[in-house]
């Protein structure tokens, strides 16, 4: 009898749910994420980022990365990790800490809408070595080709791997060295790759990337 009573109670509780579906009522859909506000993004970028990264994200300072046409998901991730300290940079942490997630999204989607200016390689003697590493890796040392993740033309893969094409060589060298030395620790894949590269190879592939398009 107790079992029968329990079954009848469960059926009674479930009845309103079944009747709602029978009447054609669907469960409420999850709220959609707000679209980025590009007007606010431009205002925030101009106020916070432009001095170092250029008015349109095309940094004129070789130590500071170009941000234009970068994948917005990647930019948001980096800003969040600067803020949390997962990516260690005292200057960027100061700026990122003042931004909300919404600010980061607005900035990222605005700057990615700007066209990146092409760069150029400077060292003709090293650029051929850089091309070999970028396109084919170094097989006998198990160094993967950069093109496998960042694409042959350096455009990257949205939401997964950043765009590299035309990036300042000085900036790329610094990042690869920091990955190699453990100073930048927010990408296991890059730490593993950079750990196997010597200074000459880092300089070569960075110079090749600067002229990639």
CATH of the domain at 195: 1.10.760.10
Using CA atoms, how far apart are residues 11 and 197, in angstroms rounded to an integer? Answer: 66
Asked if 135 and 179 sit in the same domain, the reply is yes
13 occurs within a structural domain: no
Asked if 187 and 145 sit in the same domain, the reply is yes
**Closest Cα partner for 154 from 204, 114, 126, 118?**
118
Asked if 70 and 140 sit in the same domain, the reply is no
Q: What is the pLDDT of residue 29?
A: 56
Provide the b/e sequence for 46-71 (b: ≥16 CB within 10 Å).
eebbbebbbebbbbeebebbbbbbbb
User: Per-residue pLDDT for 184 more than 80?
Assistant: yes
Contacts of 98 (CB under 8 A, 6+ apart): 48
139 — pLDDT class (breaks 50, 70, 90):
very high
Asked if 176 and 201 sit in the same domain, the reply is yes
163 occurs within a structural domain: yes
Number of domains in the chain: 2
Using CA atoms, how far apart are residues 154 and 39, in angstroms rounded to an integer? Answer: 28
Q: The domain containing residue 43 runs over which residues?
A: 38-111
In percent, how much of the chain has pLDDT > 90?
Answer: 82
Enter the tokens of residue 151: 């694409």
């Amino acid at each position: 009898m107790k079992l029968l009573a329990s079954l009848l109670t469960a059926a009674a509780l479930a009845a309103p749910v079944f009747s709602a579906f029978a009447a054609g009522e669907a469960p409420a859909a999850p709220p959609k994420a707000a679209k980025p506000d590009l007007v606010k993004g431009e205002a925030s970028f101009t106020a916070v980022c432009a001095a170092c990264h250029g008015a349109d994200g095309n940094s004129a300072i070789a130590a500071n990365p170009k941000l234009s046409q970068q994948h917005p998901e990647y930019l948001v991730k980096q800003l969040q990790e600067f803020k949390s300290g997962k990516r260690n940079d005292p200057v960027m942490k100061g700026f990122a800490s003042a931004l909300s997630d919404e600010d980061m999204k607005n900035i990222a989607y605005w700057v990615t809408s700007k066209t990146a200016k092409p760069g150029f390689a400077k060292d003709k003697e090293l650029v051929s070595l850089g091309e070999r590493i970028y396109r084919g890796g170094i097989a006998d040392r198990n160094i993967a080709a950069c093109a496998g993740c960042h694409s042959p033309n350096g455009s990257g893969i949205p939401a997964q791997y950043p765009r590299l094409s035309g990036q300042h060589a000085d900036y790329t060298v610094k990042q690869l060295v920091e990955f190699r030395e453990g100073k930048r620790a927010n990408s296991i894949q890059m730490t593993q790759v950079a750990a196997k590269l010597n200074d000459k190879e880092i300089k070569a592939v960075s110079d090749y990337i600067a002229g990639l398009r």
